[in-house]
Structure 1
Amino acid sequence: MNGTQKEPEPGKSKALLQFLAGGSAGLLELLLLHPLDVVKTRIQLQGVHANPEQLQYSGVMDCISKIYHYEGVSGFWKGIVPPICSETPKRACKFVIYEQFKPLFLFGAPQPTALTHAMAGALAGTLECAILNPFEVVKITQQAYRKDSLNTLNVAGKIIRNDGFGIKGLYRGITALMLRNAIFHFAYFGLYQGLKDELPAYEDRFAEFLRRGAIGFFASIVSSVFSVTFDVAKSRIQGPQPIKGTIKYKWTAPTIWTIYTEEGFRALFKGLSVKMMRAGPGGAILMLAYEYGFEYLTIKYC
């Protein structure tokens, strides 16, 4: 695979292969790891003023136990439809943007550096928010409630009727989402490509597979630590408010400050353990599926 990969012609054919590989990688990662996203969201939504529609969870295992006890296995897959609808095109577009815009961030270097990958990744992660945000709002609304398995279209319709399409409705929390994505993807792509270039590659295909997977795992874990505070703020803004009819969490900075003053510094990292449980394998799966998928498509069709 090293040194024998056939490069597709630049332009539409290469972008198409990146689109297909990125979309497939995103869908695979979602299907395997969505239950952990449900657990993470439930924990992050907890504040000092409990929403009556939500149980309180003392930790990750307590959350998993209560979801299973009260909602059954299907409870772990709440909110799966919006990500399925958004993940394939979103990840596909992200990888195309990431690959196509890397030349803009060479800064005079003959080859892409770790900074090149970080900047291109941050740009791609930020731009995808225009597609992602409405699906995130619907997904978190579905994940927040334990009593019913809420229909996706009904939830979306209710949000639009009550709050509209703008920053009070389907695009609420977009600033927090953009900040989360920019920070996460800057660290993730920068670390992954930087370490992959620095650490020696293996001739053995399985050993090389494990090397790339380990780097993706590590890069995603570190990126989660840097971005989790904005993920908590996003969940609070996009999810059900603690007091019905009153908007407590509206903007990113005030939300972070409110969480800090009411719940302490540790609350800014709520859900980090389960986020890392999801992000580590997710980061490995995503890059492995994308890179090997792209290589396969290149060999087969170019």
Structure 2
Amino acid sequence: MASHDPLVPVEDYDYEALPPNFTLLENCLAGAFAGIMEHSVMYPVDLLKTRLQVLKPAEGGLYTGMQQAFWRIGRVEGYRSMWRGVSSVIVGAGPAHALYFATFEAVKHAMGGNNAGYHPLAQGAGGAAATVISDAFMNPFDVIKQRMQVHGSTYRGILDCTRTVYRNEGFKAFFVSYPTTLSMTVPFTGLQFAAYGSISQFINPTRQYNPTLHGLAGGLAGGFAAALTTPLDVIKTLLQTRGMSRDPELRHAKGMLAAARIIKREHGYGGFFRGLRPRVVTAVPSSAICWASYELAKNYFIRNHENDPL
């Protein structure tokens, strides 16, 4: 098969449909690359979101908004503190996203998503299945990350945080938020993947590799899904940081409903949207980076296969 310009339609297979000799390893590598890029670049904004969502933080850790939190953290703790816990994300995001995109492509293909035409159900189902698998792996790393992000955190690194949490709260502390995480990420991912497919179909109907359009579609889809699932993200943050709370009730909150009642009592219904702005600000560029990186890696492997026998 002769080489071609990536923006010119391919006659033998649609770009969105992986070629027959596209391996699981290549798919995993593409996903891992996308995950590390997404989480590491936008990490400081994610830290701001966590700080805004934590209820009754340690003295000096109460913030009124994203901009105030940014300047206060920089002045009091130094701007380097905005990267505390990033190593946990880097260690976990690669394997988690490898599982994520490998599962997505497998389920999408099984449901006919690689056939000619538009298949939003296959996109959404693939995304929902992918998040169940990847979140099981990523949840402990996310707990460690948020414990290190909160104001007053004294953990020296991810190993110190892991040992301390396990010693004080047991193994279940790393998974107490998993049901809540799934209740948020399954609809988030389903919405994001379905929206990505719909937006891509509209702005890139030829379905050929175009990094600008992939990034634009990914950013819009991510922001849309993030805004709708913010209340569940607030509950997840409370459960993942409960062991550091000064409130005894918060420290023993056992699930979604208990956490939701505490949020409602402390801040009313508006409490469920704390951190909305930094969550969307994080989701738009991080989703754009994730999708653009994934499509870049996928296109690289596809182009390498163009001269391989099918």
Q: Structure 2-normalised TM-score? A: 0.87
Pair 1:162–1:193, CA change in 2 (3 A): same
Q: Quote the Cα distance in structure 2 between the aligned partners of 1:186 and 1:247.
A: 31
Determine whether 1:9 maps to 2:20.
yes
Aligned to 2:3: none
Are 1:84 and 2:90 matched, yes or no? yes
Gaps of 5+ in 1: none
Distance 1:204 1:70 in 2: 48
**Separation (CA, whole Å) in 1 of partners of 2:141 and 2:80:** 20
Confirm or deny: 8 A CA contact 1:137 1:172 kept in the other structure: no
1:200 and 1:250, CA in 2 relative to 1: closer, same or farther beyond 3 A?
same
Distance (whole Å) between structure 2 residues aligned to residue 94 and residue 191 of structure 1: 17
Task: Give how far 1:35 is off.
Answer: 0.5
- Counterpart Cα distance in 1 of 2:188 and 2:124: 10
Matches within 5 A, 1:65-214: 65-106=71-112, 113-146=119-152, 148=154, 150-166=156-172, 169-201=173-205, 208-214=210-216
The answer to whether the 8 A contact 1:118-1:190 is kept is yes
**CA–CA separation in structure 2 for the residues paired with 1:87 and 1:26:** 5
- Cα deviation for residue 259 of structure 1 reads 1.0
Asked if 1:18 corresponds to 2:27, the answer is yes
CA distance in 1 between counterparts of 2:162 and 2:127 reads 29
- C-alpha distance in 1 between matches for 2:222 and 2:20: 31
Aligned partners of 2:108, 2:52: CA distance in 1, in Å? Answer: 37
Query: Relative to structure 1, is the Cα distance of residues 246 and 180 closer, same or farther in structure 2, using a 3 angstrom cutoff?
Result: closer
- Asked if 1 retains the 8 angstrom alpha-carbon contact of 2:155 and 2:161, the reply is no
Q: 1:102 to 1:112 in 2, by over 3 A?
A: farther
Question: Could you tell me how far 1:161 is from its partner in structure 2?
Answer: 1.1
For residue 106 of structure 1, report the CA deviation from its aligned partner. Answer: 4.3
Query: 1:27 is matched with which residue?
Result: 36
**Per-residue deviation at 1:204?**
10
Q: In the alignment, which residue of structure 1 is the partner of 2:236?
A: 234
- Percent identity of the aligned residues? 23
Superposition TM-score, scaled by structure 1 size: 0.89
Instruction: Check conservation: 1:29, 1:282, Cα contact below 8 A.
Output: yes
- What amino acid maps onto 2:221 in structure 1? A
Deviations 1:217-254 (A, max 9, x none): 11111100121111100100110223258624320122
SS at match of 1:101: helix
Does 2:268 align with 1:264?
A: yes
Counterparts of 1:103 and 1:202 in 2: how far apart (Å)?
A: 19
| 1:128 match: secondary structure | helix
Q: Is the 8 A contact 1:42 1:143 kept in 2?
A: yes
Q: Give the length in aligned residue pairs.
A: 292
SS of alignment partner, residue 277 of structure 1: helix
Q: Secondary structure at the match of 2:229?
A: helix
2:296 counterpart of 1:292: yes
Asked if the contact 2:19/2:302 (under 8 Å) is kept, the reply is: yes
